[in-house]
Structure 1
Amino acid sequence: MLSDKEAIAMIAVKDIGAAAKFYEGTLGLAKIAAEGEEVITFRSGSSKINVYHSEFAGTNKATSVAWDVGNEIGAIAAALKARGVPFEHYDMPGLTIEGDIHSGGDMKVAWFRDPDGNILSIVGT
């Protein structure tokens, strides 16, 4: 029923202006639509991300969005860090940390937060 339909990530934020600067300016996503001060839609690859105003912003304690960046993870992490993005460091069984990138087997991941505290990540190999 839904297997051939596109999914849209939904990220709650308190300050839509600060979110717009972060998602468009810092992360480089393309803004494709906006509904006043309530919702901004960004394009990321062939996906859409809706950033919307909510009083519950930043309350999710799990990853909201992950980008599959393949073998570019090191370069993308460095570029984000150069733009002032601080990375999260977690003590997780089976993962080692090299700089800002957690590694385990063939998987590498780096976590960071948006201005409202939503957890985002890049994942690669």
Structure 2
Amino acid sequence: MFKDTTAFSGFSVDDIPAAKAFYLETLGLEVTEADGMLTLHLAGDRATLIYPKPNHVPATYTILNFSVPDIEPVVDELGSRGVEFEHYTGTPGETDERGIFRKGGPPIAWFTDPAGNILSVIQQ
């Protein structure tokens, strides 16, 4: 039934203007706005919908992963733009002083958008 249909993902935020500024200015993504919602235009012609939700609760899992060839310069650049990376301790592992997890899989660093949703940058 859906084999030939276009699908897209979406997530909620509690403040559309703050989300637009973050995704457009801080992350440098192409963002359009229509009908009170945002669309992120990601590489590979992938669109992601951001919609307002007054009783928004941030996701407790990673909602969006940005794949990069080298994580360290990206972490540095995002840090210079005011992004603060999450720091985790304990099981299954710990992030280093920069917020990069390097044990078990590709290096990955997590951060949040203004609505508290978890995003990551992951080295591929």
* TM class, shorter-length: 0.7 to 0.9
How far 1:48 sits from its partner (Å)? 1.4
Relative distance call for 1:122 and 1:6 in structure 2 (3 A) is farther
Q: Does the Cα contact within 8 Å between 1:9 and 1:65 map onto a contact in 2?
A: no
Structure 1 vs Structure 2 CA RMSD: 2.1
> Which ranges in structure 1 are unaligned for 5 or more consecutive residues?
none
Which whole-Å deviations, capped at 9, do the CAs of 1:83-110 have from their partners, x for residues lacking one? 0001111125343423221112341110
Give the match for residue 39 of structure 1: 37
Q: Which is worse superposed, 49-58 or 10-19?
A: 49-58
Give % identity. Answer: 32
SS in structure 2 at match of 1:107: coil
Question: In the aligned structure 1, how far is the partner of 2:2 from the partner of 2:71?
Answer: 30
Relative distance call for 1:2 and 1:68 in structure 2 (3 A) is farther
SS in structure 2 at match of 1:74: helix
TM-score by length of 2: 0.84
Give the match for residue 12 of structure 1: 12
TM-score by length of 1: 0.84
Does 2:102 correspond to 1:103? Answer: yes
Q: Does the Cα contact within 8 Å between 2:10 and 2:51 map onto a contact in 1?
A: yes
Give the match for residue 66 of structure 2: 67
Which whole-Å deviations, capped at 9, do the CAs of 1:2-61 have from their partners, x for residues lacking one? 577654231211111010000000000002x3223x211111212212111112424321
Q: Which is worse superposed, 12-21 or 40-49?
A: 40-49
SS in structure 1 at match of 2:114: coil
Instruction: Work out the number of aligned pairs and report it.
Output: 122
Q: Does the Cα contact within 8 Å between 2:111 and 2:118 map onto a contact in 1?
A: yes
Give the match for residue 28 of structure 1: 28
**1:77 equivalent among 75, 78, 86:** 75
Give the match for residue 116 of structure 1: 115
Question: In the aligned structure 1, how far is the partner of 2:3 from the partner of 2:115?
Answer: 31
Q: Does the Cα contact within 8 Å between 2:37 and 2:52 map onto a contact in 1?
A: yes
> Which ranges in structure 2 are unaligned for 5 or more consecutive residues?
none
Question: In the aligned structure 2, how far is the partner of 1:5 from the partner of 1:80?
Answer: 35
Q: Does the Cα contact within 8 Å between 2:88 and 2:94 map onto a contact in 1?
A: no
